[in-house]
Structure 1
Amino acid sequence: MKRRIGEPKVPKGPQYAFFELMQRHVLNQGDRSLAALSKESRWSRQTWHKALRGPELPNRDLVKALVEHLFPEQDGTEVRRKMVEETLAAWTAAAAEQRFGSRADQPQATADTSAVKLMGAEDTQPLGTANVPERQVPSGGAVVESREAAESPFRWNPGKQRNNLPEEVQFFELLHNYYAGAGRPPVRWIVERMPKEFPVTRSTLSDWLNGRSLPSYNGRLRAALEVMRQYRPDTVEALEADAAEQDQINEALNRAWWARPL
């Protein structure tokens, strides 16, 4: 007997409506169990459960990937597009409620009070920049990373101009260790052997290995790990250890996505 997911663990409002919509998608697409969804998608049961019930709001990219899994292309690209748009619209409303509170809780603007003052923007940094670490910039203009950023080769993210979150650092370190253990196959070699259904460019793979971007949830990371494994011994013990290591990497990827701010 299928175990019920349960009512969303948030008060009634936009966030509740979002989780309710996610559960409705699962119901309309066969009402599969969390175990079945986890097995077919490679995301953990915990990831599915949290995305369907809360109380934490999942990352936007994860929501898009989960809905695309529930509505595969063979069901119709237009249906899939509409479901993704509808869900992301619900997610946006939920994120706004989480960040600013419900509309009933919002202060009403008066004729002599600006929106900037109401939101306290004069006392805060712009959204998305408050956590950017300070970096020393010499007079010549060259950027020098702080000693703290240099503690891990994956701590500082030059693409995003911020420190990677601890969960992101852990993922990148696990991926790099796996790559090193596979004998550091050339990036071009890996790209040329990727399955046709999971193509990846050299620049994308390089970004993963150098801690600049997280892989998305579409199977490309798992496929890349499988290709790298061709460098490894194929004994039973090695394959079992390798499978466990791949699971550990995928769990770290889940945690990294969940840790990212809205």
Structure 2
Amino acid sequence: MREISVKLGIVILVGAIFLSMNYYQAKEETIQGKKEIKEEPVKVAVTIDNNVNYVDLDDYLLGVVAGEMPANFETEALKAQVVASRTFVYNRNLSVDNTTNSQVYLSEDKMKENWGNKYDEYYQKISTAIKETKNEVMKYQGDYISALFFSSSNGYTENVEDYFESSPLPYLRSVDSHWDLTIDPKNTRQVSFTKQELKEKFNCQDINFNIIAYKKSGRVATLSVGGKNYSGRQVREKLGLSSSCFTVEYVSNKYVFTTKGSGHGVGMSQYGAQGMALEGSNYKEILNHYYTNIEIVNN
């Protein structure tokens, strides 16, 4: 009887060990499975020449930062651009195109062409900025923000509703960006037009410019041309001006437009980010300056 009990105990013990091994093996496989799922790269649908290309998010960010910000900028400015670009693409549901309507994305060949013998240095610099901000995005009340950005300002950024046809957004407000005026070597630009050129562009016979109103940011709100009113944005787009902050003078039989800044002026100024970085600000301080009341969180 005792021998039977011993044998039965051995059988039970072996069974328990077998079940335990299966349990831990199954648990390990589950953990590994979760790791695999977690580590699977996020894909971005990038439309290039009417063809949709699916690109790993980190590779996309590398091409975007290479296309949107000078690679010789400070690392903290590049990090700010990475987080803004990552947030931008999530706000667009990971579906963008390769134009200024979304974000300009450079191929590896284009990066090599643009950077020449600096390619390895700049590639590594931007890659590091991506790794050191891994998964970080900006949100407002739990939603991805529309992380707009532009090259440089006239000293202030613009309220979103003052340039785009948009409702006011609490995180896209006009803020100081004085760095642009000294950091951007091409902050002030001039372009000239003859009377005939302007008549054709505005489709009118009487060229008589009159700036009726300015915005608080210093950009043109309303301009009268030949008796018809246009917004500063409309004039900028018709004439291909760098910004909607401009003055007009008639000099030597030509109309000379002098602009300050480059881009729409809403969100983060890239030259402003560079200026802040040069003064010692980190990327989170830069982002919190240009996007008010936001949270920087891990996605």
Give the structure-2-normalised TM-score.
0.29
| Greater relative CO (CA pairs within 8 A, separation 6+) | 2
Between Structure 1 and Structure 2, which shows a larger proportion of strand residues? 2
Greater Rg over alpha carbons, structure: 2
Between Structure 1 and Structure 2, which shows a larger proportion of helix residues? 1
